[in-house]
Amino acid sequence: MRRRGVVGWGVALVVGVLVAGCTDDAAAPKPDDAVTVPTGAPAAAGKALGVTGPEAAEPCRGTAIAVGAEAQAVIDAAPAGTTFCFAPGVHRIGQAMVPRDGDTFGGVGAVLSGAVALTGWVRDGERWVARGVLPAAYPLKGQCEDNRANPCQRGEQVFFGGKHLSRVMSLAELRPGTFFGDYEANAVYVADDPAGQQVEMSRTTTAFDKSAANVGVSGLVIEHFASRPQGGALEAGKGWRVTANEVRWNHAVGVMLIEADGAEVSRNAIADNGQLGLGQYRSAGVRITANLVTRNNTDGFWIADWESGGIKSTRSSGEISGNDIVANRGVGMWSDIAEYDRRISANRIRDNAADGIRYEISYAGVIEENVVEGNGFGTGRGSGGSLWDGGGINVNTSAGVHVRGNLVKDNRNGISIQSRTRGDGPRGRYVLSGVVVEGNLIVLKDAGSSTGVVENKGSPTQDGAITFRRNSYRVPDTTRFAWRGKSLTWPQWQDAGFDQDSITKAS
């Protein structure tokens, strides 16, 4: 029996009705008869993240690296598998350290900095200039919010008394709180008087070389590295354990996993990095758990659609669970391009400028029991309010995806399912198929917000490709659903074969 009316929220429902949208594809997730229509938020909503960063680290006991010592010389003088403890204080890292298999690095109170001090300032009219400090020319990449001047492509940042200055792209734009790097003249200009201030510029691109396996990094502050777009201040490889660090104010990615099969990233505070908090590339079976990932994309990368924001993973697999992914200027959690066996569970994903969760041109994913709230309200190039622009959870041209048991609340849109023309991948053509959306609590409040399916003309949604069932909706009015290019009321949505055993209530 189809339920069109209002159903009380205090009763859990188990309804044994199969929805017309079910698929017979054996590779697709099957609806779970144990899933009930939800009456409240998942358990993650009531859990606190707990302590992250160096406060969560164990004391370091091992070979000491003193402040001012040549760290690589200390590493090279010890056997592989040594634990190295950085002394409290600031350690200037002039080039990436090269660990050996099994080495561990720690030291609560230690700061690894990729910056150099800028001195020798000369007044130049209403500004000050330091000369001879910029690196030689290097290849530029990355897509910026400002895609004409492209300020995000340059890796160097300037910090004035510890405060991050914003880059401008001409002397005419220079104002207090900004800097201009003239790479042709090899000069850095600021508008604030540097007298009596510590002025630093990020220069080293990364703290560690990722070539060794099974390396541990714990309890450190890693800051002010001039990481290049898609590169990390902390780059980790196979089997690395990255726990209880604070990774902050680096130009591109805070923590970047590259061919890092079996790595674990836990209890870190990853904040205020220029592009992205955490990245994962060609890394299988990785566990990313209980991290705080917040306020990333400080250097103006494209908010809507270029690897900016919280976490971005490509061609990888594994678990992303129990994290707080909050207030990033981009997508909260983004799986993109040939992801497989990906599980995104029990995260609290709030107030990110673009989608809360985006699962794009990938395969075999589970998105379950997350709190996804207040996402998608960022403004910028290419952003908008339609289902094409996403919202809380966005499944884009992917196959075998199970979206279940999530709270999707007060986002720009609820759940956006997109079918686009995207070409071929390693496990077959990228198509929208075998998507099951069940047991979610979806609250729509914003004017114009909706849930449903959008498709382009070249990739019409195939019959049976999508299942919506046993969901609960709180909506301000009835026309909040989309299918076949039309906005639908709740009865029309059910007549189209969706959510026939679900409930709705006015919010």
Map residue 133 onto helix, strand or coil.
coil
Q: What is the pTM of this model?
A: 0.94
Domain ranges of the chain: 43-47+253-506, 116-202
C-alpha closest to that of 398 among 30, 29, 31:
29
Condensed to tens digits (0 to 9), the pLDDT of residues 312-325 reads 999 999 999 999 99
Under 8 Å between Cβ of 112 and 86: yes
CATH number (3.90.800.10, 2.160.20.10, 2.60.120.650, 3.40.50.970) of 43-47+253-506 reads 2.160.20.10
* Residue 83 neighbours by CB under 8 Å, 6+ apart: 60, 61, 62, 63, 103, 104, 105, 106, 216
> Which residue bears the tokens 């909050």?
326
CA geometry: angle 183, 155, 220, nearest 5 deg = 140
Per-residue pLDDT of the chain (507 residues; tens, 9 = 90+): 333 333 333 333 333 322 333 333 435 687 777 888 998 999 999 999 999 999 999 999 999 999 999 999 999 999 999 999 999 999 999 999 999 999 999 999 999 999 999 999 999 999 999 999 999 999 999 999 999 999 999 999 999 999 999 999 999 999 999 999 999 999 999 999 999 999 999 999 999 999 999 999 999 999 999 999 999 999 999 999 999 999 999 999 999 999 999 999 999 999 999 999 999 999 999 999 999 999 999 999 999 999 999 999 999 999 999 999 999 999 999 999 999 999 999 999 999 999 999 999 999 999 999 999 999 999 899 999 999 998 899 999 999 999 999 999 999 999 999 999 999 999 999 999 999 999 999 999 888 899 999 999 999 998 899 999 999 999 988 789 999 999 999 999 999 999 999 999 987
Under 8 Å between Cβ of 430 and 424: yes
Under 8 Å between Cβ of 326 and 351: yes
Q: What does the alpha-carbon distance between residue 167 and residue 155 come to, in Å, rounded to a whole number?
A: 10
